[in-house]
Structure 1
């Protein structure tokens, strides 16, 4: 049977269950050690009951975050003595923050959460050390609480800093959480919200002993139905460890948005250059709605980008719109600036968007852009006008769009209001559609979405394709910072928070990945650990997880006998999860059984082989989608 059902399948958090402990081996051990603590423990852990209404919070009366700020960790270049972040005279550079678009007192959106930046200036306090302070949020109904943080250690050492805090609801109940924050100089770039090129130092202005430094965003899921009274910041047990908090925010639960299209940022690459020209990007909806907004990301960037105008229109032929495109606004303005590492959401527009409808998103870039965050392997054709042709976002003819773009730059999502919820497909090039027919929407998530729309009795959920060609479960391909020719993404364990758990409306996750890790020598036990870490984090977020066995790749250059042995080990473990009552997976999909040649099980069935012996062609991708039991997928 293709679909195997696990015992644990509700998506409800298993309160009181201890996180798994994994023994890590091989080249991925150091990366996974960081990831498992961050991803598994950076979430809600348990409900600890109600506090007496007359009992005061342990840190005093709850107050706004800004009232607790009492330390200076940001200094002007040349004035390092005015701040000390790490206890050794080193501090964040005000100049590099401003160059990244993180201006004093400004706003930046990370993981879907708006953060108010400190109004930093010479000698002025700009952050606090987490120590149980009770903080009031501006928005009391949220999906998650976000923290803009970094870690340091007195006397050296680059380990993560761990602390435990509490979410206190207005009804008096409490919910504990554990936060794990990477070290500001030693933490992974692939997991960072922002990487800065240097820190100010008492001994040097630029390229001092600290080298590149990083800030991180962390998200803790909460119950969106209940109002949050306040958040007790973590207390750190280790005396030498410090958790620096620069801002706290909440991802609003005031409106129910659902993703209808999305792609993951796979790298930061040289482009164009583009200057005073318009990109026109083609997407296809998977679920429908009447109010629509877009999400733009500047992930991995080191500088802000200005979007002079944007529009959304139904697609006609080629780059032409069907009728008039609708201008988009951002906080009421026709233009927006996306800080480095940040996100922006457009204001919603009223438009009837049916499922499986082609849409054109146009972005005018008035300034010179030489590098951009991209989803590299689009398998769809996008368009650009010529340099210097100005704002063409409302052009209906498509005639100005004489150039072609083979990536999706900046555009990370399209969402509809009050949709039925979404499924995320997290994977590598097979999910991304490598070697599928161009512009044919033949990827297996595309076919799955078509089946959902045609099946009576099941909701037509959004299907969000988070496949990245060349991606690994536990090791970064793209290094996480800087312009690179590698656009195969950071590890799934690093990108899951951004690409899955803070996406709007996501209730189900499908993970089909691991073959690239094995082809490049990762120990299969590390792959298993990575898949289960993602599943445990999903469970904490109330997201059901299905996992797929790895398909065969015999005959492909890197698929040696050793890789085949490792693949069989991973698949045997995953199949065993189907009957494990304590499994993190809601079900196991045997994609290996769908794709393999019965006469030669280490190879793809010839009719499904695209020709490279690794990637299924259109017929194989369709077979994967058709093997899924839709009722079990959506839980009805």
Structure 2
């Protein structure tokens, strides 16, 4: 008797089921093998499945984890004196400090204030060899790509996100992000009061791990506005949104002593100690010196954009934001805004945050007695705003920076131990006091339906 082919209509239903089961098993086995082959890389460039990418320039598919912000700086304006040349022919090595660990990293470059397209032909990321150093740690240099290409053109007024690159980024690490632009593309988009020394070299020295060519020191961050990491340790981002007090004006240079830095360290220590009811969040800084809730500076686009204007970019645009700590209003007060307008602006920001499921911890306005622009009328506006904030009708939770820093014998002023000396900004000790004042349990919990 001749055996019929497998597809013959005479085959029994039992044999059909057996054949189908065998096919399904084969598909599952092949799928597992393919997945294992893609995921098995150790982070070096040699693991990249894309052709043409040699050692130390991997852009591998990201593995499991959560994307969180590890560092950020809001773009503020165009750098004076960089029109039209920009940084043509020079390598810019920004030094930034991470608030979260990750197994992959990506960056955001901004040409918000450029008047022409910015073409970056070469970019890299590496861990710094040591504190306050422009040298890269051995075997950490990675070439960055954008849509698979090593070169990217950022239109005027726009920003670009890089591909993810595999790199073991520790918490509390200094990271070097270096870019090279060969052609004129000014003015350069900057964050001017970095309180961190970065570096510049002549020529394309992007993948040079040595500090030798980086002879020029600089106190501003150029082009770079964010560093994100794929993290197994953090599952959300906290954004500190404010003015020069959040930006860390008057804090020690290259020491990471702004209050968001101190708060990140405190949060990390609490998690490491196993403290209950403390979330595993990274902290990024979106402070701008001189920033107001209501008013932007002149320019097209406006420089030092108001809190209302930039909130979508600097808070809602960050990855996996769970909480914003909002500390704005002092500059509005000093520029003559009344309490009702300030409070209306703050409530608008809260509504925007709530619409995106983000909790808002809001700060009372700190004292400025002794500052040249102090008047009794302006202090009365500050006091009225603070009374409304403390009443619980503005924010989901309140951190009382005013109470923490003021002189108990003259509440119009800072206590002397917290004053930087200009009577407007805290010093390092004051920034630490601010970080210690935030209730860590306020970071948890769902956003209320309405205030």
Give the greater-gyration-radius structure (CA): 2
Q: Give the structure with the larger helix fraction.
A: 2
Q: Secondary structure at the match of 1:385?
A: strand
After superposition, the Cα gap between the structure-2 partners of 1:571 and 1:632, relative to the gap in structure 1 and judged at 3 Å, is: same
Per the alignment, residue 601 of structure 1 pairs with: 411
Per the alignment, residue 546 of structure 1 pairs with: 361
Per the alignment, residue 372 of structure 1 pairs with: 188
The farther-off stretch of 294-303 and 509-518 is: 294-303
Cα deviation digits, residues 123-166 of structure 1 (max 9, x gap):
xxxxxxxxxxxxxxxxxxxxxxxxxxxxxxxxxxxxxxxxxxxx
Match of 2:93 among 277, 280, 297: 280
Q: Secondary structure at the match of 2:148?
A: coil
Is this contact kept in 2: 1:267–1:478, CA < 8 A? Answer: no
Deviation at 1:344, TM superposition (A): 1.1
Q: Secondary structure at the match of 2:261?
A: helix
Cα deviation digits, residues 561-580 of structure 1 (max 9, x gap):
11111110110111112xx4
Counterpart CA distance in 2 for 1:468 and 1:557 is 21
1:399 paired to 2:212: yes
Aligned residues: 370
Q: Secondary structure at the match of 2:107?
A: strand
Counterpart CA distance in 2 for 1:434 and 1:393 is 30
Counterpart CA distance in 1 for 2:66 and 2:432 is 31
Per the alignment, residue 477 of structure 1 pairs with: 297
Deviation at 1:269, TM superposition (A): 2.5
Q: Secondary structure at the match of 1:481?
A: coil
Deviation at 1:369, TM superposition (A): 3.6
Counterpart CA distance in 1 for 2:315 and 2:113 is 17
Gaps of 5+ in 2: 1-63, 447-451
Q: Secondary structure at the match of 2:134?
A: coil
Deviation at 1:329, TM superposition (A): 0.8
Q: Secondary structure at the match of 2:417?
A: helix
Normalised to the residue count of structure 1, the TM-score between the two structures is 0.57
Counterpart CA distance in 2 for 1:433 and 1:285 is 16
Q: Secondary structure at the match of 1:400?
A: coil
Deviation at 1:330, TM superposition (A): 0.8
1:311 paired to 2:311: no
Counterpart CA distance in 2 for 1:392 and 1:415 is 24
Deviation at 1:480, TM superposition (A): 4.3
Q: Secondary structure at the match of 1:621?
A: helix
- CA-atom RMSD in angstroms: 1.7
Cα deviation digits, residues 417-436 of structure 1 (max 9, x gap):
25411000110000000001
Q: Secondary structure at the match of 2:79?
A: strand
Q: Secondary structure at the match of 2:125?
A: strand
Q: Secondary structure at the match of 1:593?
A: helix
Deviation at 1:532, TM superposition (A): 0.5
Counterpart CA distance in 2 for 1:366 and 1:513 is 39
Is this contact kept in 2: 1:262–1:465, CA < 8 A? Answer: yes
Per the alignment, residue 257 of structure 2 pairs with: 442
Counterpart CA distance in 2 for 1:256 and 1:298 is 27
Match of 1:491 among 294, 306, 319: 306
Cα deviation digits, residues 59-95 of structure 1 (max 9, x gap):
xxxxxxxxxxxxxxxxxxxxxxxxxxxxxxxxxxxxx
Alignment of 1:317-328 (within 5 A): 317=130, 318-324=133-139, 325-328=141-144
Normalised to the residue count of structure 2, the TM-score between the two structures is 0.79
Is this contact kept in 1: 2:114–2:186, CA < 8 A? Answer: no
Per the alignment, residue 429 of structure 2 pairs with: 619
Deviation at 1:478, TM superposition (A): 4.6
Cα deviation digits, residues 249-299 of structure 1 (max 9, x gap):
xxxxx9942111111011123355422110000001101110111111111
Match of 1:562 among 377, 380, 384: 377
Per the alignment, residue 7 of structure 1 pairs with: none
Deviation at 1:459, TM superposition (A): 3.6
Per the alignment, residue 381 of structure 1 pairs with: 197
Q: Give the structure with the larger strand fraction.
A: 1
Per the alignment, residue 302 of structure 1 pairs with: 115
Alignment of 1:69-468 (within 5 A): 256-272=66-82, 273=85, 274-317=87-130, 318-324=133-139, 325-386=141-202, 389=203, 391-418=204-231, 419-455=234-270, 456-457=274-275, 458-468=278-288
Counterpart CA distance in 1 for 2:114 and 2:184 is 15
Counterpart CA distance in 2 for 1:267 and 1:478 is 10
Deviation at 1:301, TM superposition (A): 2.9
After superposition, the Cα gap between the structure-2 partners of 1:275 and 1:258, relative to the gap in structure 1 and judged at 3 Å, is: same
Deviation at 1:529, TM superposition (A): 0.6
Counterpart CA distance in 2 for 1:590 and 1:431 is 14
Deviation at 1:312, TM superposition (A): 0.4
Counterpart CA distance in 1 for 2:174 and 2:191 is 18
Cα deviation digits, residues 423-451 of structure 1 (max 9, x gap):
00110000000001111100000000001
Match of 2:401 among 562, 567, 591: 591
Alignment of 1:520-535 (within 5 A): 520-535=335-350
Counterpart CA distance in 1 for 2:113 and 2:247 is 20
